[in-house]
Structures are given as C-alpha cells and as structure tokens.
Structure 1
Amino acid sequence: MPTPTFFRAPSTSSAVGLVLANLVPLAGVIWFGWDLFGIMWLYWAENAVIGVFGVLRIITAGEIHHWATVTGRTFLAAFFCVHYGFFWFVHGVFVYALFGGGRELEGAGMAALSGVPIEGLVPLVVSHGASFVMNYLVGGESRSTSGPAEMTKPYGRVVVLHVAILGGGFLLVAAGGAVWALALFIVLKTALDLGIHLKGHQMRLAKTEADA
C-alpha cells in the first residue's frame, strides 16, 4: 500500500507541531514567570520523552520475520534503556547541580519537582508522538531502518542539544536569568531543534525512497 502523499515529506505538520511545542516555554517565560531552572528542567525532561520514543522506534523498526527478531529487538531496547537512561540521569544531575538552586535530584521525591513547569512537558510529548506516528509509522520511515540503527540515532540529537542547552545555561546565569535572555535562548533552541528534526527526516525519507 503506497504511503499517503501527506506523509511523504518530512511532515510539515510535525515540524509545525515541534515549533508550537517549543514556543510554550517562551509563553511561560514571558507571561507566567518560568525561570531558568524550570526551562533547564523542561528540556532535560524532553530528553526522557525522546528516549521513550527511541525505544518504540527500536521495537517497530523494519519487518518481523522470525521470533528471533522480536528477541533481538527486546534486548536492544533493554540495553538502550540502561545506557540512555544513565546518560539522561547524569544530564539531570548537572541540571540540578548547576541550576537547581539547592534542589537535589537524587532521593528528593516530589521536592525535586518543586517549581518546575510540568505542564510544559505535555505539548512536547504530543509533538514527539505526532512525529513518531506521522513520519515513522504511517510515513514509512520504519520500513527502511533497523533496531541497531535506531538505537544510536537519539544520541546525535540529544548530545548536540545537551551541549547547547548547558552552554546556553551558563550564559543565562551570566545574564542574571533575564526574561529577554531566556526568550532568546528558547528561540535559538527551537531553531536548532527544528533544523535537526528536518535534517533527520530528510535523510530517513531519502533512504525510504531509495529502498522502495
């Protein structure tokens, strides 16, 4: 069955959704007083969302020809959870240590969530979920990839954003966490995220068409 035309390009809808989801923190900073730590926490939490959909991509990559395929994907997904989870946790330790203002990630329970904009995570989950469904499943990207390939892909995006976010965080501290600086930071992060998103889907689309 051919892929619907709407889903053949790096979906405009998913790109628009990504921008809108990333503009929610901008509104939070300008109108609702979200601070530097809240933004750092939100982007750290987004990396967990990326990891969850990374697991789903591993499990649904390619075609299943034998029970061994299911076993292999399950092992890859489990290994990814441990490896990526450790990377994500260390990132969180840095976020709390550098920007948490005395909050602690380890063993802090709900206290670790004090003052963070959890509601800002909802549109990010929706954005990543929509991209997964529209581009990866319905758009056919899953048919031209494999579990091992999908296991490594989140790291490139996350490492770039990790460095950019922490580096930007230090500059924001130097700027005193001013609203204008936070707003500029969010706009730049959104532009970087969009560029990575479009580039990744263009590469997937090219491979899908080459394999067709």
Structure 2
Amino acid sequence: MSPSLLALVLANAIPIVGVLFLGWTVFPLLLLYWLENVVVGGFNVAKMLLAQPSEPVSWLGKLFLIPFFIVHFGGFTYVHGVLVVAFFGPKGAQPFDLLTAVPAAIRANHLGWGLLSLTASHGLSFYWNYLQNGEFQRASLNTLMGQPYGRIVVLHLTVLFGGWIVILLGSPVPALIILIAFKTAADWRAHKAERRKFATQRP
C-alpha cells in the first residue's frame, strides 16, 4: 500500500472516532465530507498552477482556467454546502450563510481534527503522487479542470444517498459506520483511478 493510500484510510477512519465518542450523527459526517470538497478544490488549484511548468503555452492557459475553475468550482461547492445544511443541518441553521453556519457547526461538533486529518491526507497525496512521482509533468490543464467534479459527484452521491438511509433508520451507530465505510471505499476507488489516469496521460 502506498503512503498516500495509507493516509487516505487513516484519515477516513477519524470519523469513526467522532461517531463512537463525540456523538456525531449524519450532519457532522456530511459536513466534514463537504469540507473535504473545499480541500480538494484548493489542492486542485495548486495542481493546475504547477502542471507542465516547462511548457510556455500552458502558462497562458492557466491565466484563464485557474480563475475560471475557482469561480465555477466555488459555486458548485457553495450550492452543495447549502443543500447539506438545508436538508441535514439543525433547526435554525441558515443554509445560505455558510460563512456563519459552517464554522459554528465545526466548533459545535468538534470537526477540526477530522478536517485536519483529511487535509493532511490530500496534502501527502499531492506531495507523494503529484510532485514526487512526477504527475505534474504529465497532467494536462483540461484534465485537471474536470478532475474534481467526477470524483466529488460519485463520492457524494454515495454519501448523500447513504445519509438519507441512515436518517430513515434513526441514525444508529452501525449504520453510520457503514456509511463511513462506503465513503472510504469510494474514496479508495477514486484515488486509484486518478493514479492510473495520470500514469498514462501524456502532455
């Protein structure tokens, strides 16, 4: 198992601690996974910035594509966050005011360690796979532009669908653990697919 995959598994195990010892229910889990979207987007901007550094033409593309990605992915993530807070958040939460609702929920549910672990996992993958293993030399801007969307759509359809089922069951601990396991499996599969894509891609 590669270091990045090991980090992925360990980071995804942190929510189990939250469920067993901090009383996490569906909303804290889904909010944590939504926050991971923000982390993924941030690292993707770094990937786009560092992709194919020896190609002068790519720098011209970056001037347009990176700001476009930030706006487009930011809007996509915002809408997703609104839906998570609106459908799964506590009563009285203001879903359209994420800058207020999200930090309050992080503090109330002690999500800081979970967010830190997921950020560290993506950071290690960025260093180990993208920089150390030279994926930045092979990754194209067009691929990077769309990369997070496919991963997030598959991952969060799995999580959101599972979240509804867990709510219908009354949020029992075993169901929450199964939800975490499904998310981890989807994450594992997406990570492996990304490595295969960048291993074969040519500029």
TM-score by length of 1: 0.87
- Residue of structure 1 aligned with 2:22, choices 32, 37, 45: 32
- Cα offset for 1:75? 1.8
Which whole-Å CA distance do the structure 2 matches of 1:110 and 1:203 have between them? 38
Instruction: Spell out the pairing of 1:91-170 with structure 2 (5 A cutoff).
Output: 91-102=80-91, 103-107=93-97, 109-112=99-102, 113-114=104-105, 115-116=108-109, 117-170=111-164
Tell whether the 8 Å contact from 1:61 to 1:146 is kept in structure 2 after alignment. yes
Tell whether the 8 Å contact from 1:58 to 1:148 is kept in structure 2 after alignment. no
Q: Give the length in aligned residue pairs.
A: 198
Any stretches of 5+ residues in structure 2 without a counterpart?
none
Distance 1:150 1:108, change over 3 A: closer
Q: What is the aligned-residue RMSD (CA, Å)? A: 1.7
Which whole-Å CA distance do the structure 2 matches of 1:44 and 1:118 have between them? 13
- Cα offset for 1:204? 1.4
Question: Any idea what SS the aligned residue of 1:106 has?
Answer: coil
Overall identity of the aligned pairs, in %:
38
Which whole-Å CA distance do the structure 1 matches of 2:192 and 2:30 have between them? 23
User: Residue in 2 aligned with 1:183?
Assistant: 177
Instruction: Tell which structure's C-alpha radius of gyration is larger.
Output: 1
User: In the alignment, residue 153 of structure 2 is paired with which amino acid?
Assistant: V
Which whole-Å CA distance do the structure 2 matches of 1:15 and 1:206 have between them? 19
Distance 1:109 1:158, change over 3 A: closer
User: In the alignment, residue 30 of structure 1 is paired with which amino acid?
Assistant: L
- Cα offset for 1:54? 0.9
User: In the alignment, residue 70 of structure 2 is paired with which amino acid?
Assistant: C
User: In the alignment, residue 69 of structure 2 is paired with which amino acid?
Assistant: F
Tell whether the 8 Å contact from 2:41 to 2:148 is kept in structure 1 after alignment. yes
- Cα offset for 1:111? 4.5
TM-score by length of 2: 0.91
